[in-house]
């Protein structure tokens, strides 16, 4: 989304009203763009699930929503500590430990995410076993994504 600013730079030299409208459009695109992209992708995936199975994609949407939420809750403490530690390491120019820290954080995040999501899904849900396994794997992958990115 940052590339939009470079492309719209020539339009910002227009008269005042056009410049104002272009700046507002750019800011709205930056604010709503990721949300719009997420909703569009979920809609396309839900349509593909419906066309492939002939059933409503409600369970699919629930799996995605709960896996995303749980992975954000699980990964937040690790991400907070990791980002603070890495910022200190970069500030003190000790970059040799960054790779090992990321590997260790990934292992801790993957293991804790699998354990917590397994405990939650097996104790609180009555969905089929394949959906439970899918939920655990999806939650773990999302947690690793939030931790590394």
Radius of gyration of the chain (CA): 21
Selection from 127, 147, 4 nearest residue 66 by Cα? 127
Q: What is the pLDDT of residue 47?
A: 93
pLDDT in tens, 15-30: 677 777 777 888 887 8
- Give the pLDDT confidence of 105-125 residue by residue, as tens digits: 999 999 999 999 999 999 998
- Measured in whole angstroms, the distance separating CA 14 from the mean position of its chain's CA atoms is 37
pLDDT in tens, 47-97: 998 999 888 898 889 999 999 999 999 999 988 999 999 999 999 988 888
pTM of the predicted protein model: 0.72
What is the C-alpha separation between 138 and 133, in angstroms, rounded? 8
Residue 107: is it exposed, middle or buried by C-beta count within 10 angstroms (0-12/13-18/19+)? exposed
Q: What is the DSSP letter of 2?
A: T
Distance of CA 41 to the CA centre of its chain: 13
């Amino acid at each position: 989304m940052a590339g939009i600013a470079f492309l719209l730079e020539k339009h910002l030299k227009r008269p005042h009203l056009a410049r104002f409208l272009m700046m507002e459009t750019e800011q709205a695109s930056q604010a709503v763009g990721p949300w719009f992209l997420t909703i569009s992708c979920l809609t396309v995936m839900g349509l593909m699930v419906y066309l492939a199975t002939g059933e409503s994609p409600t369970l699919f949407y629930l799996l995605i929503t709960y896996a995303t939420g749980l992975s954000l809750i699980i990964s937040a403490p690790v991400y907070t500590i990791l980002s603070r530690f890495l910022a200190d390491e970069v500030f003190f120019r000790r970059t040799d430990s960054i790779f090992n820290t990321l590997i260790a954080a990934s292992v801790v995040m993957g293991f804790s995410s699998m354990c917590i999501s397994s405990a939650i899904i097996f104790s609180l849900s009555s969905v089929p076993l394949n959906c439970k396994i899918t939920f655990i794997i999806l939650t773990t992958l999302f947690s690793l994504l939030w931790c590394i990115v």
